[in-house]
Amino acid sequence: MSASKSGLFFLATFFIFSLVQSTEFVPCFIWSNKRTNEHIPALNKVSQDIFKENIEQYLKDDPLIVLFAEQTLSPEDFAQKDERGLTFSNLAKLAKSLKVSYLPYVQNPIKALKHLDVTVTEVPLDKFGKNFEIPETDILIVNLNDAKDSESRSDMLKRHDAAIPEIYEYLASTNNNVLGMYTAHHTSWVVSEEVIKSRQARSLMGVENSETAKAGEKVVEKADEVPEKFYNHTDVYLYISNATYINDKNEEKEVSLTYSVENSSSIIVLNLDCTEFKLRIEFSSNGSVGYWEQVGNITANTSEGEFVLKSTASIYAPKGFSYHCGDQYFSAEKFSIKLQDFQIQLFFDEPSTTGKFGDAYDCVGFTTVPIWSGLFVTTILLIIMSIGITMMMDIRTMDRFDDAKGKTITINAE
């Protein structure tokens, strides 16, 4: 009896797993050099059977279907970009010269093509060259399974984005009816626990390097980030996206900062140095219970001497939290310093090794200028409405009228 139950449990598990696998949806990018896609499904998600029927409509015109098959692809991949631009910049250009349609969620499109009653030929990407002979087939599947150990996924997709138009143009030169398709076997957008831990709202929020960060080093998560932006110290986490020096003539100059930390028993001193100034800020955790805060004067040494600076907002946060300000200003009579996206966190009790900021305690107070404006306008409206309603409630109807059968009022005028 137990053996039969185990067998049923195994079959049920296998069925559920197969059902989940069969409901995997991937994007499908379709273009043609002959006509527009007249078979666009009305639903957002296209099932395998509906997609198969749409392709059968295309086959009535006897086209050469060339399908470029990635191993993994998701709609989010088409929105990715870096400093060089969009990942699929060449595919985006196809929409300007060819007839393009895009289906974001298609169920098993490659399986649907293989189940058609036509000839299907699969070739790897590296087979294409100047002497490549186009095989006699109805559907040509180009497998893009050529990932290299030395390149990232973004670089691989960019390389495929450059190769796809070249191959398509080569096929279109010998056939005036070529239907191109770009899709994948599986989706690449998998939300697992590991992905959630590594996902960041901002690039500064964490440094997950394979090597442990040493104290006092500038640690960068990605190679293309500026090293001066995020400073990872065992006692201080600091992020500044851009630093600007503004002189008395209101002339702005971007500066590159270097950081250093002085740590005593209860005071942590942060030094921000550049050619124009040397900024010194002291922090302590003894002033307020449960908080760390900036104490003493904020000073800056320049070529003209030492100045005491005023901050636009007090720098403090609860322990375990970070302080953040979009534009943090330190001002003196002759100059001011602006730090954009300024975020800092101090660790007094014990050194931190997480490499991640705590929740941000923003410099904007609970009641901002827009909030005060809204409250003021709302108060004025309430006062006007109250006066109006009060005056309407004081309106009284007439309770005495002239007697139509009685003597009329006579007024003698002299």
Report pLDDT digits (tens) over 105-156: 888 889 888 888 888 888 888 877 656 777 888 899 998 988 887 788 888 8
Report pLDDT digits (tens) over 305-344: 888 998 888 888 888 888 888 888 898 888 899 888 889 9
Report pLDDT digits (tens) over 222-254: 333 334 577 777 788 888 888 889 888 888 888
Predicted confidence band of residue 287 (pLDDT cuts 50, 70, 90): low
Global pTM?
A: 0.43
Q: Which of 354, 237, 241 is nearest to 292 (CA)?
A: 237
Report pLDDT digits (tens) over 185-199: 888 765 444 433 444
Across 82-91, 178-187, 198-207, 319-328, least confident range = 198-207
